[in-house]
Amino acid sequence: MNDLFDIRRFGLYARKEFRENWKVYALFAVGIMVMQLVFIYLLCKPLENKFYYDQLNSYQLNSFVGLFNSAVIATWISGSYAYSYFSSSSKTLSSLTLPVSPLERFCFAWLLTIPLSLIITAILWRVTWFFGIPFILSTFPKVIIRMDYEKAFRNVVEESLAIGVFGISGAFMLGSLVFRKYSFFKTLAVGLGAILLLYAFQQKALEIILPNAVKVITSPYPGFIHTTVHTISKLYIQVGSTLELPYLIWWVGCLPVILWVATYLKIKEKEV
């Protein structure tokens, strides 16, 4: 099988996969719905304290918290189980009758990992809040819920959530090929280890650059650098990185492409 991409063959392959694995996709949708309900419960939990609630004039719920976090988790989970879509074409009789190229296998798994999982998450998030808002407002009349989509879009970049969707999900896709069993947990462990090493290196580098600092505090999250420095003269300095755009380009642009290319090459290696 060559590396050419045939849209008709890809469509037949996608239809076959959806037909054979519809239970998995249905379970995934149920999981996303449960995740939304959990986030709604956590957002409303402080209001269960009657004393706290009585002191409030109003209480604003950020409904996008559930959307952002579940979107990241959904791409991680779907990416970590993408190996089933990269499996060798000789495994099933239906695969023998419908051979597909490594590029088509990769495209199908990529579509499931990012666009499709994000679309499903967004739809289920909207449906959950559509039915949940009347119940929340009737139970807690002081609650204010605003669906500010423009602000939410800005937060995607400002809070570096795009890194989790694009950059880190690529690591889970590659991990699904490298690790045969428990790929999600193994990739998560490796990723956390890499982040901690990066954080330690970042701390040491900043301490060398800032010799007068007695304490340097940074975030271990692999996004923009926001640093707090305590100096010998007891100055308290907060530093924002001047490299925010290069950071964004690397984590959201370059790193995902590198991981996706590595994933595709790994698929080709397994096909040989």
Task: Please tell me the predicted confidence (pLDDT) of residue 96.
Answer: 46
What's the pLDDT at 181?
Answer: 79
pLDDT at 179: 84
Residues 69-98 have a mean pLDDT of 68
- Map tokens 């301490």 to a residue: 207
pLDDT of 239 over the 80 cut: no
257 domain-assigned:
yes
Q: How confident is the model at residue 88 (pLDDT cuts 50, 70, 90)?
A: very low
Nearest-Å Rg of the Cα atoms of the chain is 23
Q: How far apart are CA 140 and CA 120, in angstroms?
A: 29
Does a structural domain hold residue 267?
yes
Reply yes or no on whether the pLDDT at 189 is more than 70. yes
Q: Which residue has the higher pLDDT, 185 or 225?
A: 185
> What percentage of the chain has pLDDT greater than the value 90?
11
Q: Which residue has the higher pLDDT, 217 or 112?
A: 112
Is 2 inside a domain boundary? Answer: no
- Mean pLDDT, the chain, integer: 79
Average pLDDT over residues 39-53: 89
1 occurs within a structural domain:
no
Question: ∠ CA 77-80-82 to the nearest 5 degrees?
Answer: 110
Within a domain: residue 184?
yes
What is the model's pLDDT at position 41? 92
Residue 41 lies in a domain: yes
Average of per-residue pLDDT across 141-164 = 71
Q: Is the pLDDT of residue 86 over 60?
A: no
Which range has the worst mean pLDDT, 101-115, 147-161, 200-214, 247-261?
147-161
When pLDDT is cut at 50, 70 and 90, the band that residue 243 belongs to is: low
pTM of structure? 0.78
The answer to which of 20-24, 31-35, 235-239 has the lowest mean pLDDT is: 235-239
CB-based burial, 100-139: b 16+ in 10 Å, e otherwise: bbbbbbbbbbbebbbebbbebbeebbeebbeebbeebeee
* C-alpha span between 101 and 95 (Å, rounded): 11
Q: How far apart are CA 114 and CA 124, in angstroms?
A: 15
pLDDT at 126 over 60: yes
- The residue segments making up the domain with residue 25 are 7-271
Quickly state the pLDDT bin for 184 (edges 50, 70, 90): confident
pLDDT for 182 equals 82
At 90, the pLDDT band (50, 70, 90 cuts) reads: very low
Q: Which tokens sit at 149?
A: 């989509």
**Does some domain include residue 204?**
yes
Asked if residue 50 has pLDDT above 50, the reply is yes
Q: Which residue has the higher pLDDT, 96 or 18?
A: 18
Let me know if residue 177 belongs to a domain.
yes
- Residue 89 pLDDT greater than 50, yes or no: no
Name the domain count of the chain. Answer: 1
